[in-house]
Amino acid sequence: MTAVPACRPFGALAAAALPLVAMACLLFPAGSRAQELVADISDHLIAISTDFTGAEVVLFGAVDGAGDVVIVVRGPSQDLVVRRKERTAGIWVNRTSMSFADVPSFYSVAASRPLAAVADDRLLERHGIGLRHLRLTPVDAEDATATEVATFRRALIRAKQLEGTYATDVGEVSFLGDRLFRTRLTFPANVPTGQYIVSVYLIRDGAVVSAQTTPLVVSKIGLGADIFTYAQRQSAAYGVLAILIAVAAGWLGSLLFRRS
């Protein structure tokens, strides 16, 4: 996450904060009942093209009164199988496995303070805030012990972190004054496609006093999207076509090398 530099020129800082100031004036007019929390993101669509190398989306908003802001980004759910390898006769083979249902394909958290200082474990567990409290449900694991479930759970999170789809650290939510806040949501080049849910919580005195969810869509566009769609809908034809292209490329390559 990229924080706003403290030495940023006043004019540039004012320009960046102008949308937030306008939002605050609209949301908190004098003499009317103010909303506790309102937030939005700078772009509701992340378009993945052939030269996509990752993206950043700015989330901004305003609060009425004191409190901490926590932001959770969840990608579309998927079912995953975690396998554990063991050494048998000098060869590493898959020996045991555990399936998990409704696993977020992407997960990140940002907060205005460390999560431990924002709320207790019960509240974080209730809302699935933080990797420690992320709900990962094992399937057909009635005979598994709590230790085994915890081991496979840690392995799943570690694998997601290694591929870059689970954030390893909690991002920072910066306040501009007492009411306006912002943060940057970062998405890697291999971000999964689908509909994301961005949840924003206002936590005060250890309780969630307001919450808001905002959708975010990650989608392929252009030639890459056409190829992906064709491969999904016509998998057999796509496989045959890929083989033919590979054979043709090999034949042309052999001709070029023969002439040279």
Domain coordinates in residue numbering, the chain = 10-220, 221-260
CB 70 within 8 A of CB 171: no
Give pLDDT tens digits for 84-117.
877 666 666 667 888 999 999 999 999 999 999 9
Positions in the chain short of pLDDT 70: 1-34, 87-94, 222-242, 244, 251, 253, 255-256, 258-260
Question: What are the start-end ranges of the H helices in 3-113?
Answer: 10-27
Q: What is the CATH number of domain 10-220?
A: 2.60.40.1930
Question: What is the Cα 257 distance to its own chain's centre?
Answer: 47
Helices (H), the chain: 10-27, 115-118, 121-127, 146-163, 222-233, 235-259
Looking at the DSSP assignment, which residues form a beta bridge with residue 237?
none
What is the per-residue pLDDT across 19-36, written as a single tens digit (0 to 9) for each? 554 454 445 444 445 578
Structure tokens at 245: 């292209």
Please say whether the beta carbons of 178 and 127 come within 8 A.
Answer: no
Between strands 207-220 and 45-48, the pairing is parallel
Residue given tokens 């390559």 in the structure block: 253
How far is it, in rounded angstroms, from Cα 27 to Cα 201?
17
Sign of the dihedral defined by the CA atoms of residues 69, 70, 73, 78, in that order: negative
